Chains A and B, each alone.
Chain A
Amino acid sequence: MTFEELLQIPPYSLGHEEKHALLTERLLGLTEHHLAHCPEYRRMLDSVGYDSGSISGYEDLPFLPVRLFKELSLRSVPQEDVVKTMTSSGTTGQAVSRIYLDRTTSANQQKTMVKIVSDFLGASRLPMIILDCPSVVKDRNMFSARGAGILGFSIFGARKIYALDDDMRLDVDGLRAFLEKFQGQDVLLFGFTFMVWQHFYKELVRLKEQGVTFDLSRGILIHGGGWKKLASEAVSPQEFHDRLRDVCGLDRIHDYYGMVEQTGCIYMQCECGHLHASVFSDVIMRRSLDFGVCGVGEPGIIQVVSTIPESYPGHSLLTEDEGVLLGEDDCPCGRKGKYFKINGRLKNAEIRGCSDTYAARFA
């Protein structure tokens, strides 16, 4: 099956068996493709004695740790075919992932994203409020995860405004005018979880104390990027939701899980609060001790597989996140496929030894 054919399948329509067969075929094909076109990938798989004949399902395929994309330049296309290089938003001084996209992979990322998100927003485009500043997408040559996320979701917006200026201040007048113009309609809001909290929610609270309020009860918020920073402020997902609702009536809120290494295949949170795998990708929770596959309810390291990556060998990756599979094909929201939750980042190892660990200290 080609990727175009795959795209015709509604994203949450396949049960376990069908999806398993489909993904196994596509991911085996991608493994062969990268073996043939990425010499580094071939060496890696040779080193572990990879044999396609012993693969009975995609859970048997090798997975690359995401960190490798920070250490190595991994491409399965000639440099001249690369149209975009995406980078992860690493903290200053830290290595960043570099993901090379050709025309096909880049286009497939966007098409996939449309299929997934449309399942939650409907087919028509909505007025869109981007909860970030315009400068984050200015440099088109080097896409940061934040910029890529905004551009990726922008295709769901008919008319767009950035709610923050480049000093991260809320544009109160602009926001008011925009909401008045689209009064009585659904409005899409998009931003990174921490930005939403820090520069939008907190500002709304401050304004409310001054008697300035906004009604976002027709808003649908999609946000992602992780809870690490908010966890340090002791804000739970539930509290995030409750307090946004209290301050501006926003009640349709979808977190999503995704990473720059597998852009396009995002995992959207449904109305029941569960993250969902679409037919284009999957998660496999693995035991840290032996990388065996975890059962339902058993926390493990999250492996992600994606049917998209052709220009770089990122179709099967081991993240450094821990998650729990909650079930498969039976979420009360009606969507098929696996649904899960994220527990957070794996802890850095505490290692003894004679050499002081500077890097860890300043990370």
Chain B
Amino acid sequence: MRQDLHDLTGVTYLVGSADIAAAMPAVPALPPFDGRILDFLNAAAKVLLADREAKAYPDVVTFAFWIRGASTKKLKERFCREEGHVRLGRGVAFHIAPSNVPVNYAYSLTAGLLTGNANIVRVPSKDFPQVGIIDRALQSVLDMPEYGEMKRRVCLVRYGRDKAVNDAFSAMADTRVIWGGDATIAEVRKSPLPPRGSEVTFADRFSLAVIDADGYLAREDKDHIAQDFYNDTYLTDQNACTSPRMVIWTGGKREEAKSEFWRRLHDLVRKKYTFQSIQGVNKLTSGYLAAVSREGIRVEPHEDNLLVRVHVPALDGGIMDLKDNSGYFFEYDCNDILELAPLCDDNRCQTISYLGDKDMLRPLLAAGVRGIDRIVPIGKTMDFDLIWDGYDLVSRLTRTVAVG
């Protein structure tokens, strides 16, 4: 039996209401990339890009650019090529966003909207300013008469870890999207979905970077590369699923490349990163734990605790269980790309960011590894796309009507 959403305590509707959420199962689904949705998102982008406060948050600005008409039009071109059958949103999408990334919930909502669904999104429990800015923008567009129809498609909610609430929203979900990793997935899965309900889960992952030493040394824009790598790592305390935890060096002049690369990164970290005292203790602990676990581990001499590198002499599947964050890198000298197979033959292995020729990674895919869902240039690890974590979200969040 479905619980009356009005009876749930502890749920705050930041956008929408219990009435709107309760009526969602009756909202008509739309085909993906419907013009009304693209217009609505474009209007929200305009509000955000004009928002003075939003300018202080690069993640909000990036999101605003992603939902602009020009950007969604490109997505539409990429994802709407099929002929002969009809696609529609699945119906009600219930999203659980991660608690410690400010704008991820907005991307998840957008994916749900673009695919024609009505969306209930649990936003981060932490009171990020970004959430307030984005919610305000969405609300202001929803309040415009021309977008009134959209109101019934968006509910943003905040609540504690409350199974009763998860139960209620899950019971009405045609699809459920769970971010936040293994523990959150296990928690939310205690709440059953209807028999036809589908699910997309974003589990705990790890990522790697592969750098061709000679290619790097030949590049003129080394400071720019340092900035890109910084954005991939330190910007999220090197703790996003996409952040490389290990740097793998290929090519000839590795030592020269390493010293250039790390020196420039270190300079940047010193200028930009907010260091917390306990992080130094954490990295010291992690380095020693790694040293005990395997023979031949070497903690590279470091001038301070901002950047700690741990040389690993051989790769095996378990080494990533010892990963740490906030500027703690495993490092490996690679002579044959297939040496990475034990690392990548693990369905937790997500993104490989590269500097050099991406084709060097193809033999790994050809080897049939269980991991690697994305191969992107360094600096692009955080760029959200509708193909994410190995899922084509457009197909996962829609259903296909076979028309014979």
Contact = CB atoms under 8 A, between A and B. Distances in A.
B289 A68 contact: yes
Given A290-B305, A318-B281, A320-B278, A353 B100 contact: yes
B241 interface: yes
A346 B276 CA distance: 9
Interface string A80-94: 000000000000000
Contacts, number: 130
B291 A352 contact: no
A40 B281 CA distance: 19
Interface string B175-210: 000011111100000000000000000101100000
15 contacts: A43-B297, A49-B301, A288-B277, A289-B280, A290-B305, A318-B284, A320-B281, A346-B278, A351-B100, A351-B325, A353-B237, A353-B240, A355-B180, A355-B183, A356-B100
Interface string A339-363: 0000000111111111111100000
Nearest to A346: B278
Interface residues of B, number: 49
A320 B180 CA distance: 28
A355 B348 CA distance: 13
Given A346-B278, A354-B98, A356-B99, A65 B284 contact: yes
A110 to B, nearest CB: 30
A242 to B, nearest CB: 31
Interface string A59-101: 0000011011001100000000000000000000000000000
B100 A357 contact: yes
A46 interface: yes
A349 B304 CA distance: 18
Interface residues of A, number: 34
Given A354-B101, A356-B180, A47 B288 contact: yes
Interface in B281-311: 281-282, 284-285, 287-292, 295, 297-299, 301, 303-306, 310
Nearest to B311: A47
A357 B99 contact: yes
A347 B281 CA distance: 11
Contacts of B280: 288-289, 291, 301
Contacts of B278: 288, 320, 346-349
Given A301-B277, A354-B180, A355-B98, A64 B237 contact: no
Contacts of A65: 281, 284-285, 288
B275 interface: yes
A301 B298 CA distance: 24
Q: Which 3 A-B pairs have the closest CB atoms?
A: A353-B239, A355-B181, A47-B291
Nearest to B304: A290
A43 B298 CA distance: 9
A354 B288 contact: no
Nearest to A70: B285
A115 B367 CA distance: 67
A49 B99 CA distance: 40
Nearest to B295: A43
Given A40-B292, A44-B288, A352 B281 contact: no
Contacts of A102: none
Contacts of A71: 285, 289
Nearest to B126: A350
B227 to A, nearest CB: 18
Nearest to A48: B299
A49 B298 contact: yes
B114 to A, nearest CB: 21
Given A288-B277, A355-B183, 10 more contacts: A43-B291, A289-B275, A289-B304, A291-B284, A301-B277, A349-B276, A349-B326, A351-B100, A356-B184, A358-B183
Contacts of B180: 354-356
B115 interface: no
B98 A356 contact: yes
Interface of B: 98-101, 104, 179-184, 202, 204-205, 236-237, 239-243, 275-282, 284-285, 287-292, 295, 297-299, 301, 303-306, 310, 325-326
B81 to A, nearest CB: 30
A225 to B, nearest CB: 21
A358 B184 CA distance: 8
A44 B281 contact: no
A356 B101 CA distance: 9
A72 B181 contact: no
Given A349-B276, A355-B241, A301 B281 contact: yes
B5 to A, nearest CB: 24
Contacts of B305: 288-291
B321 to A, nearest CB: 12
Nearest to A292: B304
B286 to A, nearest CB: 9
Contact of A68 (B98, B239, B288): B288
A127 to B, nearest CB: 42
B299 A352 contact: no
A356 B99 CA distance: 6
Contacts of A67: 281, 285
A288 B280 CA distance: 6
Contacts of A48: 287, 291, 299
Contacts of A351: 100, 237, 239, 325-326
Contacts of A348: 278
B276 A47 contact: no
B285 A355 contact: no
Contacts of A44: 288, 291-292
